Amino acid sequence: MDFDCAIKIINKLLKEKRPDVFNSSWILKHAPKVYRFIRENVRAEIGGIDWDRFTRSLDRRFQKKWTAVSFSKRKQYRKKNEWR
């Protein structure tokens, strides 16, 4: 598999499934081989997955549906006395 092939597969899946939004978890669930390819080959300079490069290569109509996984949804623990 190469980068162009991975893009074609995801574009095709997005066209068929028509999700409102999608993210890396959606790709892992619906195309695990493509996700593994991305994880191993589409790397940023700092070492993580370069999702920006990947999403920029998708069809424009699907780029708008990309939503990054947010860690802000996790419940933050704080002691009451930390606010004083």
Query: Is 83 part of any domain?
Result: no
- Tell me if 76 is assigned to some domain: no
Nearest CA to 62 among 5, 16, 3, 4? Answer: 16
- CA atoms within a 13 Å half-sphere pointing along the CA-CB vector of 32: 1
Alpha helices in 1-84 (DSSP H): 3-17, 24-30, 32-41, 51-57, 60-63
In one letter, which amino acid is 23?
Answer: N
Residue 47 has what pLDDT? 86
Domain that holds residue 22: 3-63
**Residue 57 confidence (pLDDT):** 97
What's the full length of the chain, in residues? 84
pTM, full prediction: 0.79
Does residue 74 fall inside a structural domain? no
pLDDT digits (tens, 9 = 90+) for 9-49: 999 999 999 999 999 999 999 999 999 999 999 999 988 99
Kindly state the average pLDDT of the residues 46-75: 86
49 belongs to a structural domain: yes
Q: What does pLDDT average to over the chain?
A: 89
In the chain, the number of structural domains is 1
